[in-house]
Amino acid sequence: MIRRNKFRPRPGRLALAGAVLLFLVAPQLPAPGHLADPALRRELEESRALLCGIYDVSPEACAAPVDIVIAAPGAGPPPGWGGLPPYAAGAADPGAGRVVIFPERCGRYPFGSPAQTLRHELSHVLLRRSLGFAAPRWFDEGLAMRVSGEWGASDEMFSALALHAVARGRWDLAKVDRDFAGGEGQVRRSYALAKAFVRDLFPSNADLKGFLVEARAQGSVDRAFLRRFGRSPDDLFRAWAKNLPWWGEWVVWLSQPVVLWGVVTVLFVTAFLAALRRRRRKYEALPD
């Protein structure tokens, strides 16, 4: 006689038990928008509060979640982030409210520390939520550079590499936007120009906030420029370019490889001759 067990586990109960067991033994992954690094969590909250105030973001839009992904070292782009250039330390999808950071790529201009990169990318998301529409690329990137931190000499150097062409009218905002999709050198130059232009247009946070309120009311950044400055962004850019330092062309000339190698050669020869003179003096000072 076969005795049957009175307890018959149901498939549903087995599935539930398996799910509970998997939850208990599986590593707990951070939920979207959650950062495991305490320093980055603090930067996220501080940057969110700062940018929402500057960009005049509504409390509801400011509090909406931001999906932040920290890419693993050595790994490729996470799912949904294909097509990014290999040097990009961060990227944002403002419409979807998501950000990706590659910590191992941080540090080089225009991407600073992971915290600085996070603030830069968060700027794109919160600017979109403030305006309700996508801003021109040069304006969006210029603001992100403005709020993410000062670079000082690096800003000036990369701006100077374009000064001679910009001041002669061979550069416009459309080219700045196109160069954001170019090579690494073109990208750095566009970041520097966009930041310098936006920084000079809006020297204070109050100026910027007032402009964004106007842009939201007009439904257009270009129309807000006409109302605020009486000129289009391109006209303002050309007028701004005429006041750029005259030494921009000299900086470009001095930065050419031939000139740099020439300077290195002169320094080497000078050091070599100085060493020969020192040896000769020591030799002459020896007793006969």
Question: Each residue of 48-60: pLDDT tens digit?
Answer: 999 999 999 999 9
Return the number of other C-beta atoms located less than 10 Å from residue 187's C-beta: 20
Structure pTM?
0.72
Quick one: 148 exposed, middle or buried, by C-beta within 10 A (0-12, 13-18, 19+)? buried
**Which residues in 75-89 are b (16+ Cβ under 10 Å) and which e?**
eebeeebeebeeebb
By the 8 A CB rule, do 215 and 221 touch? Answer: yes
Q: What is the pLDDT of residue 35?
A: 66
- Residue type (1 letter), 128: R
Query: Mean pLDDT across the stretch 147-157?
Result: 73
CB 159 within 8 A of CB 172: no
Q: Are 110 and 157 in contact (CB under 8 A)?
A: no
The tokens for 30 are: 């951070």
pLDDT for res 127: 98
pLDDT at position 148: 87
CA distance 220 to 79: 33
Distance CA 181, CA 179 (A): 5
Q: Best-predicted range by mean pLDDT among 14-23, 99-108, 117-126?
A: 117-126
The more confidently predicted of residues 27 and 200 is: 200
- Residue 215 banded pLDDT, cuts 50, 70, 90: very high
pLDDT tens profile 227-250:
999 999 999 998 888 776 554 455
* pLDDT over 80 (residue 128): yes
- State yes or no: pLDDT of 209 exceeds 90: yes
DSSP H or E run through 91: strand 90-93
